Structure 1
Amino acid sequence: MAKYLLLKHYRGAPASVNDTPMEQWTPEEISAHMQYMNDFAARLEKTGEFVGSQALSPEGTFVRYDGEGRPPVTDGPFAETKDLIAGWMVIDVDDYQRALELAGELSAAPGAGGKPIHEWLELRPFMGECPTITE
């Protein structure tokens, strides 16, 4: 089994192939989208492939040590991008192909008008153990 992180990238206008920004979705469309993701996670819980997930607030801050003892703080995500990470899910699957299959399925969550949003998902494997040097 291998663990993968699915990062849900929300794009502002245009939202995705669907082209309707989420802030313009009806409450029913938002509920249908959330239900799709909950059903997806519940199905993976039954197969043992679900590890965890969490939606993220659009507000954020970037912090980086400046070498002088005080961390500079910037507003984030960066204003010049319409992308933000809306949430994450961790899956534990047999192989990379299964991870791709699940990411593609999750990308089809419904949006405005019930049409799939074709959301960008970043699929990242967890690092394994670092190799050990033996002499």
Structure 2
Amino acid sequence: MAKYLMLKHYKMAPEYMQYTPMEEWTPGEVDAHIGYMNDFAARLKVSGEFVDSQALSPEGTFVRFDGEGKPPVTDGPFPETKDLIAGWMVIDVESYDRALELAGELSAAPGAGGEPIREWLELRPFMGVTPSTTD
């Protein structure tokens, strides 16, 4: 088994958004999206592939030590690409191919109108894992 982190990237820049922003969804659409993710996690708990997950608040900052005392703080939590890391899930799977399969499935969570939002997920192995595919 190998652990992978799936980071949910919420694209903030209009040129990258291929879905209606969540703040424009109806309460029912938000509930359906969260329900999809909860059902996904529950299924992975049954299969033994779920480790942990959390949604993240949109508030945050970047902090870095500058060697001068008080660290500088920037507006955030947006990387330069204006992505918001909306949450994460850790999975423990048999193969990189399985991790890719699950990331693709999670990317299809419903959004406005029940349509898959096809959000970007960053799939990262934990240190010591060498991803390989069977392709």
Q: Do both proteins adopt the same fold according to a TM-score greater than 0.5, normalized to the shorter chain?
A: yes
Q: 3-state SS of the aligned residue for 1:66?
A: coil
How many residues are treated as equivalent by the alignment? Answer: 128
In 2, Cα distance between equivalents of 1:125 and 1:79: 20
Q: Assess if the C-alpha contact under 8 Å between 1:16 and 1:118 holds in 2.
A: no
Cα distance, 1:45–1:78 mapped onto 2, change above 3 Å: closer
Partner of 2:24: 24
Cα distance, 1:75–1:97 mapped onto 2, change above 3 Å: same
In 2, Cα distance between equivalents of 1:99 and 1:76: 29
In 2, Cα distance between equivalents of 1:95 and 1:16: 30
Gaps of 5+ in 2: 130-135
The alpha-carbon deviation at position 81 of structure 1 amounts to 4.2
Partner of 1:51: 51
Q: CA-to-partner distance for each residue in 1:84-112, whole Å, 9 max, x for gaps?
A: 10000000000100000000000000000
Amino acid aligned to 2:57: S
Partner of 1:109: 109
Q: Over aligned residue pairs, what C-alpha RMSD do you find? A: 1.7
Q: Assess if the C-alpha contact under 8 Å between 1:16 and 1:117 holds in 2.
A: no
The alpha-carbon deviation at position 53 of structure 1 amounts to 0.2
The alpha-carbon deviation at position 16 of structure 1 amounts to 3.9
Partner of 2:119: 119
Partner of 2:133: none
Cα distance, 1:6–1:110 mapped onto 2, change above 3 Å: same
Cα distance, 1:16–1:116 mapped onto 2, change above 3 Å: farther
Partner of 1:133: none
2:75 matches 1:75: yes
Q: 3-state SS of the aligned residue for 2:62?
A: strand
In 1, Cα distance between equivalents of 2:86 and 2:108: 15
Amino acid aligned to 1:20: T
The alpha-carbon deviation at position 73 of structure 1 amounts to 1.1
Partner of 1:87: 87
The alpha-carbon deviation at position 15 of structure 1 amounts to 7.1
Partner of 1:11: 11
Q: Assess if the C-alpha contact under 8 Å between 1:6 and 1:89 holds in 2.
A: yes
The alpha-carbon deviation at position 78 of structure 1 amounts to 3.8
TM-score normalised according to structure 1 size: 0.88
The percent identity for this pair of structures is: 78
